[in-house]
Amino acid sequence: MNNTGVIFDLDGVIVDTAKYHYLAWKNLADNLGFEFTETHNELLKGVSRVRSLEILLDIGKVDLSEDKKRDILVAKNEDYLKYIYKMGANEILPGVENLLNTLDALGIKYVLGSASKNAPLILNQVGLFDRFRGIVDGNSVSKAKPDPEVFLIGAEKLNLKPECCVVFEDAIAGIEAANKANMISVGVGDDNTLSDADFNFKNLTEIPHNFFTEVISA
């Protein structure tokens, strides 16, 4: 199937790093003296690091100088990386490896399309880096999701038209970006939250065996 390609989001689709982002942002909020809950954390999914800090500071009603924000972003990432360096293949989410094997067997190419600047490191930690034909990450884009840029660069790496690309995403901003890119969007997670997706699955173990051969080509 050379006319179909797949673009995977990373955080929340391949690995559950949202919990580590949460711990690092919560630590920061604790230090700044306000509460940051898991519900608040939902707002940061799929959002760039810089934008995440803006949302967090809005929640805490805290105003900081640009210098202080820069320092905080460095500190947050250092804290987050402490968890990332402990990650291994056991943290790959259920269904991911099966799905990659299926795509390989069908000859369907896949790349990564993530907002994270830590994406290559995380893929290396879990041993999946070499499986992807290309990596588009937070270092490669000038506009963050929900802008479609990350996925359009992914389509270029796949050498396919946007409408031939299937995007797997767990974030509202990511589904919006895929839809704007004119790609087939697949929401992974809560279908109420991701109601704008073309298809919805709770997780990757739920993808039917004929999804690529029949469902999306129908």
The tokens of 114 are what? Answer: 């993530």
- Binder to ligand BG6 among 4, 5, 8, 11 (CB under 6 A)? 11
Please name which of 10, 18, 23, 74 lies closest in space to residue 43, comparing C-alpha atoms. Answer: 18
- Closer residue to ligand BG6 in complex, CB, 22/201: 22
φ/ψ of residue 201, rounded to 5: -140, 145
Please give the residues from 13 up to 32 whose contact with ligand BG6 meets the rule CB under 6 A.
21
List the x/- string, 172-211, binding to ligand BG6 by CB under 6 A: ----------------------------------------
Contact between 118 and ligand BG6 (CB under 6 A)? Answer: yes
Pick from ligand BG6, Mg ion, none: which does 52 bind, CB < 5 to 8 A by kind?
A: ligand BG6
- Binder to ligand BG6 among 5, 138, 148, 162 (CB under 6 A)? 138
CB 215, min distance to ligand BG6, A: 26
- Closer residue to Mg ion in complex, CB, 24/171: 171
Contact between 40 and ligand BG6 (CB under 6 A)? Answer: no
- Binder to Mg ion among 171, 183, 204, 207 (CB under 5 A)? 171
Does the active-site annotation cover 9? yes
Contact between 114 and ligand BG6 (CB under 6 A)? Answer: yes
Q: How many Cα atoms are found within 13 Å in the side-chain-facing hemisphere of 215?
A: 12
CB 73, min distance to ligand BG6, A: 8
List the x/- string, 59-98, binding to ligand BG6 by CB under 6 A: ------------------x---------------------
Q: Enumerate the active-site residues.
A: 9, 11
